[in-house]
């Protein structure tokens, strides 16, 4: 049975590739972009393209109004911003706050806003694209304050959400897609968007409510928080 997916930050990179692969297999995609005018590739594969800035509460509320009572089977919190490296003395607090707004608060705000739509759907799947840089055990030594702290918060959000929605049968996952060769990941990254998304979608097919709250890699294997 075809599923209806909402993917944030779907106008490029992992989000766009996920939209393409879902469309190819017959699913319905609603994609979001901060600038729909710069989302021609997304428009070619998505049922709808909605303007959304995940760092803005007003933008999220507007996007939720655009969705109306449309049932959603799955939400992918994919929107992100690149890591900015620097020591504590070099840290730009405005950049730090922007990273936290996108990576930490963004998934929470979007999920809360569209939860009524997800409750109307049958898939009950919420995936937040995270990073191994959000794992305290794995990511020691790299000076990416905003990105690492934002992803760590997103992981904890997923863990808490899994407990919160357990009685409703939701599957809530934080997922590390690998180091992917996107504009954010850079050309030196060893994993292509096609490879990453193919693995993630395959893994999602084998995960369910019993795995809710977990942090996993693109193959569905558990990662340390």
The residues with which 6 forms a beta bridge, in sequence order, are 30, 75
Is 144 a catalytic site residue?
yes
Residue 178 gets the label, from left (phi > 0), alpha (psi -120 to 50) or beta, of left
Spatial distance between the Cα atoms of 88 and 36, rounded to a whole number of angstroms: 36
Residue 125: strand, helix, or coil: strand
Catalytic entry in 144, 145, 147, 225: 144
How many C-alpha atoms does 19 have within 13 Å on its Cβ side? Answer: 29
Residue 31: what are its φ and ψ, rounded to 5°?
-110, 150
How many C-alpha atoms does 220 have within 13 Å on its Cβ side? Answer: 15
Q: How many residues does the chain have?
A: 225
Residues acting as catalytic residues: 144
């Amino acid at each position: 049975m075809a599923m209806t997916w909402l993917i944030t930050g779907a106008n490029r990179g992992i989000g766009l590739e996920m939209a393409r692969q879902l469309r190819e297999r017959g699913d319905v995609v609603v994609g979001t972009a901060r600038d729909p005018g710069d989302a021609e590739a997304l428009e070619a594969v998505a049922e709808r393209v909605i303007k959304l800035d995940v760092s803005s509460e007003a933008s999220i509320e507007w996007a939720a109004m655009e969705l109306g009572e449309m049932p959603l089977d799955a939400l992918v919190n994919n929107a992100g911003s690149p890591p900015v490296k620097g020591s504590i003395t070099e840290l730009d607090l405005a950049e730090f706050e922007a990273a936290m707004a996108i990576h930490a608060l963004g998934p929470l705000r979007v999920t809360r806003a569209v939860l009524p739509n997800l409750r109307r759907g049958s898939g009950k799947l919420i995936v937040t694209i995270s990073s191994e840089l959000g794992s305290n055990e794995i990511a020691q030594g790299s000076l990416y304050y905003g990105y690492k702290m934002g992803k760590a918060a997103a992981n904890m959000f997923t863990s808490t959400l899994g407990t919160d929605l357990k009685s409703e049968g939701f599957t809530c996952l934080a997922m590390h897609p690998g180091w992917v060769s996107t504009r954010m990941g850079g050309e030196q990254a060893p994993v292509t968007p096609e490879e990453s998304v193919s693995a993630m979608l395959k893994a999602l097919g084998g995960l369910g409510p019993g795995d809710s709250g977990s942090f996993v890699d693109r193959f569905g294997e558990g990662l340390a928080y």
